[in-house]
Amino acid sequence: MNLARKLACVVVVFVCAVSLAANWLAPVGYAKQFREAPGAPPSHEHWLGTDEVGRDRFARVLYGTRISLLLAPAAALVSTLLAALVGGLAGYLGGIWLRLARGFTDLFLSLPWLFLLITVRAVLPLNVSPLTSVLITFLILGLLGWAAAARVLSTSADALRNSDFVLQARASGLHGPRLFLIHVLPNLKPVLYAQFWISIPVFILSEANLGILGLGVAEPLPSWGSLLRELEGLMSFREEPWRLVPLVLLIVVMTSFQMLLSKEEVTA
């Protein structure tokens, strides 16, 4: 493991640990409104100041990190599994299945999924707790975000199907699910990893966009998405630099995630 990967590992572990310790590090909680100090700059009481309604920004960053770091990978896992199922199998089976799967993923990719999400959110029940709303949001993202990854996986699986070692395995009498599980799937692993890691920041940013459209995490629960919304209307970086902390954290964590990928996974 080179130094960069070690450093990335430390950053991810540190951020995860700190966010998990939010209850102890920020006992005021993410929802309490200090109405006498809305939009306050950093101080001894509020290390990162307060947001527009007086909530402690440090607490919100910690809790938001916890939610986003837990649920964005969960959504990425759902979408990668779906992609592996559709793309991997179609590529392995080839022929009509591959054409069908590609047609289906193309159709799915061409759908205006943002509008699809709006429609899905509009029909959901209104009286759900903020925690349920965040679960719903990321689940929807996971269920709708598989198509691009499936396309990549189908191409990789198709290439594997025609590779020498798979042909040799076939010649040795290996067929069906066993061939897929023993020879194809392990070789798809780098692509799967890459798709998984790529999906995480995509889902975090998607959640931020959804927040603007009203489909994100319900108040008062924070997420990186809702924290990034605070940057709306920020005219200058010098104005209130502490408001950039969620953005910096997002960049650092996402970069660390990318650095954790092995060379093979990156090239995949």
Query: Residue 110 Cβ, how far from another protein at the closest point, in Å?
Result: 21
Which member of 113, 121, 209, 247 binds another protein (CB under 8 A)? 121
Q: Is 54 in the site for another protein (CB under 8 A)?
A: yes
Judged by beta carbon, residue 82 or residue 140, the one nearer another protein is 140
Residues 228-267 that bind another protein (CB under 8 A): 232-233, 235, 239
The crossing angle, in degrees rounded to 10, of helices 245-260 and 185-213 is 170
Q: Is 129 in the site for another protein (CB under 8 A)?
A: yes
The Cα 229–Cα 106 span in angstroms is 31
Q: Which range of residues in 33-41, 136-144, 243-251, 256-264 is near another protein by CB under 8 A?
A: 33-41
Q: Is 130 in the site for another protein (CB under 8 A)?
A: yes
Which member of 10, 167, 212, 251 binds another protein (CB under 8 A)? 212
Q: Is 13 in the site for another protein (CB under 8 A)?
A: no
Look up residue 34 and give its DSSP letter.
Answer: -
Query: Residue 163 Cβ, how far from another protein at the closest point, in Å?
Result: 48
Phi, psi of 26 (to 5 degrees): -135, 75
Phi, psi of 33 (to 5 degrees): -100, 120
Q: Is 67 in the site for another protein (CB under 8 A)?
A: no
Q: Which range of residues in 8-16, 20-28, 119-127, 253-261 is near another protein by CB under 8 A?
A: 119-127
The Cα 33–Cα 91 span in angstroms is 53
Determine the size of the site formed for another protein (CB under 8 A).
Answer: 26
Query: Residue 40 Cβ, how far from another protein at the closest point, in Å?
Result: 11
Tokens encoding 231: 């940057």
Helix (H, G, I), strand (E, B) or coil at 235: coil
Could you tell me which residues come within 8 angstroms of residue 142 by beta carbon, excluding any fewer than 6 positions away? Answer: 74, 75, 76, 77, 78, 79, 82, 203
Which member of 29, 42, 94, 220 binds another protein (CB under 8 A)? 220
Strand-pairing partners, residue 114, are none
Query: Residue 204 Cβ, how far from another protein at the closest point, in Å?
Result: 19
CB 75, CB 199: distance < 8 Å? yes
Judged by beta carbon, residue 219 or residue 264, the one nearer another protein is 219
Give the chain's end-to-end CA distance (angstroms, integer): 19
Could you tell me which residues come within 8 angstroms of residue 146 by beta carbon, excluding any fewer than 6 positions away? Answer: 78, 79, 80, 82, 83, 86
Query: Residue 127 Cβ, how far from another protein at the closest point, in Å?
Result: 5
Gyration radius of the chain over CA positions: 22
Site for another protein, rule CB under 8 A = 31, 33, 35, 38, 52-54, 118, 121-122, 126-130, 212-215, 218-220, 232-233, 235, 239
